[in-house]
Amino acid sequence: MNRLLRYVALTLLILLLFAAAAFGGANERAKYVFLFIGDGMGEAQVEAAELYSVASGNGPLALRGLAVRGKISTRSANAAVTDSAAAGTALATGFKTNNGVLGMDPSGAKKLPTVAEVARDRGMKVGVVTSVFLNDATPAAFYAARPSRTDFYEIGVQMVESGFDYFAGGGVNRRAGRKGDLKDVYDLAREKGYRVLRTRAELAAARPGTKIIAAASVGGALPYETDRPTGSPSLAEFTKRGIELLDNPDGFFMMVEGGRIDWACHRNDAAAAVRDVLAFDAAVKEALAFARARPNDTLIVVLADHETGGMRVDAERAAANFFPALSAQRESSESFDEKLERFRKGTARTFERMAPLLAECFGLRAPSPAERAALEARAKKGDGAARTALLLALSEEELDELRTAFAQSMRAKEQRKRDRDYLRRYGPYEPLSTTATRILNRKAGIEWSSFAHTGVDVPVFAQGAGAPLFAGEYDNTDVAGKLFSLIAPSQGAGTAGAR
Ligand SMILES: [Zn+2]
């Protein structure tokens, strides 16, 4: 009996200790905070990137190795399916707002304080890094307050007024206003003491202590990872440089967005999406490398703002075909659009003349019956290259799909009949590019259900100081409360668990 009592007491004690560890000490503080946001990165996008990474010999994703797992719901104040402005606002402030609204309540009247601003006011340095433009919705949710996410100029001005230490990514969209007649945001930035860096060499030479805007592109986004020229900086490079420039005894908060994952998923382009998840994961690795020396002071949270495209991975099909199919795609469907545009302006615009381009960019070919028979014979003997060629060989139905799309893509945009069927097949994108990626994706074992965002829950991964707070299922607004409580422990309780 005595022994049993002792056993029960000991078990209770252990459970209590576990509970205390799980909920974190009340006054725990994270000094170096990383928030990674994969825009549009649902469970399927993570799974697909992992399949690709493992198959290419690079092992599992770093972000999947983070010890703590959670899941967040994503609806906005006025819709079951959020946009990036409302989702970014929820993550950054802890409040739900309407789609399209940035950093303000649904009425667009009240500004909401963000975790990045609280970090700044606590004396931490702040960095905002993205693969899209610097005043796009997700990065802007951390420094701007506007009734509309398309107020790009005003958002750019607020970026400069934030006093944050490091901005890096594409560039500033509409930096002289809609009509191009307003004072350039970069000039305003220089007046506020920022250095505006346009090249990789300038960024490499930058020294800590200066406020920096590193804009690698003229107003737009960084290239898709799959199209990135070797001279152009990667998301990981911007993250690594940010860490070096922000590192200081008072700590820092850094938000890093993989923004192009979303753009690729809108286009249902799995190869581009997967490679951008890998570029995002490479940025997470930079944070992990930093955390190794300061494990008790560093928090790394990786999550998504919503899912895009309704992506699904058919595990059975994907097991053998995923990598051979997706690795056959050489460039993004967006980059293929440019080839298509040039082709449209040329002469002899036949499908037969387009076929070599489809083979070059997507690996899709239509072998003759004799060629197919020869491939089948070789594949039977275990020839891997022949097996891949058969996987990528176009069936009659697939050729029909491509011919129909080709005919649409050869018409001037105004002359296309955008009826229901057209929009269901191609969305707002180039019919031929969309059809080629869809066929390739199907061969890989990937299906899409939409060209838009979806309302499914998205994953959370965390590690380090306060990470256990991020376990379990909760709402996207709870993320900010948890971050507030770790950045500013004394004032955290009041804001935690906001609507
Ligand atoms: Zn989107």
pLDDT for 444 equals 97
What are the Cα distances from residue 395, in Å, to 246, 361, 365, 430, 447?
54, 18, 9, 22, 18
Count CA atoms closer than 13 A to 384's CA, side-chain side. 5
Is the pLDDT higher at 415 or at 286?
286
Burial string for 253-268 (b: 16+ CB within 10 Å, else e) reads bbbbbbbbbbbbbbbb
Backbone φ and ψ for 57, nearest 5 degrees, come out as 90, 10
Q: Measure 20 CA to ligand 1 centroid, in angstroms.
A: 38
The confidence score (pLDDT) of residue 28 equals 84
From the CA of 228, how far away is ligand 1's center (Å)? 21
Supply the pLDDT for residue 230.
87
Q: Does the pLDDT value for residue 24 go beyond 70?
A: no
pLDDT above 60 (res 22): no
Question: How many whole angstroms from 272 Cα to the centroid of ligand 1?
Answer: 15
**HEC secondary structure over 227-296:** HCCCCCCCHHHHHHHHHHHHCCCCCEEEEEEECHHHHHHHCCCHHHHHHHHHHHHHHHHHHHHHHHHCCC
Is-contact 145 151, C-beta < 8 A?
Answer: no
Please state the pTM of the whole predicted model. 0.92
Question: What are the φ and ψ backbone dihedral angles of 114, each rounded to 5 degrees?
Answer: -105, 160
Per residue in 183-207, pLDDT (tens digit) is 999 999 999 999 999 999 999 999 9
Angle at 307 between CA 303 and CA 313, to 5 degrees: 105
What residues are labeled active site? 84
Whether 128 shows a pLDDT value over 60: the answer reads: yes
Structure confidence at residue 2 (pLDDT): 58
Please identify every residue whose CB atom is under 5 Å from ligand 1, which is an ion. 262
pLDDT of residue 425: 95
Report the separation in Å between the CA atom of 91 and the middle of ligand 1, taken as the mean of its atom positions: 16
pLDDT value of position 497 = 41
The torsion of the CA quartet 127, 133, 135, 137, rounded to 10 degrees, works out to: -100
Distance 36 CA to ligand 1 centre (A): 16
The domain spans of the chain are: 29-311+452-495, 324-447
Separation between Cα atoms, residue 426 and residue 405, nearest integer Å: 9
Q: How far is the CA of 104 from the centre of ligand 1 (A)?
A: 20
pLDDT in tens, 209-220: 999 999 988 668
Mean pLDDT computed over every residue of the chain: 93
User: What does CATH list as the number for 29-311+452-495?
Assistant: 3.40.720.10
pLDDT the model gives residue 491? 57
Q: Distance between CA 34 and CA 45 in Å, rounded? A: 21
Q: Which of 183-187, 217-221, 228-232, 401-405 comes out lowest in average pLDDT?
A: 217-221
The mean per-residue pLDDT over the stretch 445-466 comes to: 98
Query: What percent of the chain has a predicted confidence (pLDDT) above 70?
Result: 92
pLDDT surpassing 90 at residue 87: yes
